[in-house]
Amino acid sequence: MAKTPDEVIADALEEEIIFGRLKPGERLREEALLERFGHSRHFVRAAFAKLEKMGIVVRTRNVGATVRAFTVAEVEEVYEVREIIQRQAALRVRLPAAPEDVARIQAIQADYVRCVEAGDLRGIHASNDRFHLALFGLCGNAYLLALVRQYMDLTYVIRTNTFSDAAALAVSRSQHELMIELLQGRDAWAFTELCVQHLRPNKQEYIRRLSEAVRSAPVPS
């Protein structure tokens, strides 16, 4: 099925945010997008609405749409909550996991690996989310899983900054595979710690980029 104009615009902008060509806090100007894509303002605004729902764009009255940006303090606070939630979910996973659950997660991981090798950024995002939701779904608490998903969505714009980094993806891939290995054993502490440590590279890279942007910003005269 062919994509609608707003989907084409949203997909293009999402990819530019993932690759870092559009920076946190950067304004998305309607006029420039109208000229670039040749569609009506209605489709541009519909694209903004889609990206806002995904959590990677914010729209502010009298300002317009901008790439979502977090301060260092906000990143620290959000990830503190993510670590608490994921630690509790991981602790509730019964080890060893059932063979059919392991096989299901292994299949998702195989899809993730294919997307990484193909450089399919949207596929990496989708399969990565499926992997973690399947993993934490083993906690047996639907409300806790909903919180895991809520904070995954909230931090999407933070998590995307490593999707195009080959070294970061290699680490992520190896950690996923170790999680699967630990699912088949009885070391709940190691499994839980890995689930928490897995969060930190994205957080650290986003903070690094924020700090770099501050250093490179022009000094007011």
* Domain co-membership, 103 together with 55: no
Tens-digit pLDDT profile for residues 65-122: 999 889 999 999 999 999 999 999 999 999 999 999 999 999 999 999 999 999 888 8
Whether residue 18 is predicted with pLDDT greater than 80 in this model: the reply is: no
Is 96 found in the same domain as 201?
A: yes
For residues 63 and 79, membership in a common domain is answered with: no
Determine if the peptide bond prior to 24 is cis (ω within 30°): no
| Domain count of the fold of the chain | 2
The whole-angstrom separation of Cα 6 and Cα 11 is 8
- pLDDT category at 220 given cuts 50, 70, 90 is low
Same domain, 53 and 81: no
What average pLDDT does the segment 131-143 reach?
A: 98
Give the residue carrying structure tokens 């957080």: 203
The predicted-structure confidence for 144-164, as pLDDT tens digits, reads as follows: 999 999 999 888 888 877 777
Shared domain check, 188 and 118: yes
219 lies in some domain? no
Residue 213 scores a pLDDT above 80? no
Q: CA 136, CA 148: separation in Å to the nearest integer? A: 8
Q: Are residues 93 and 158 in the same domain?
A: yes
Per DSSP, the three-state class of 187 is coil
Quick check: 192 and 83 in contact, CB under 8 A? no
Q: Locate tokens 């990830």: which residue? A: 79
pLDDT band at 217 (very low <50, low <70, confident <90, very high): low
Structural contact between residues 207 and 74, judged by C-beta atoms closer than 8 angstroms: no
CATH of the domain at 87: 1.20.120.530
Whether 220 maps to a domain, the answer reads no
In terms of domains, do 183 and 78 share one? Answer: yes
The answer on pLDDT for 214 being more than 80 is no
The residue range of the domain holding 182 is 72-213
Looking at residue 77, its pLDDT comes to 97
The tokens for 219 are 């000094």
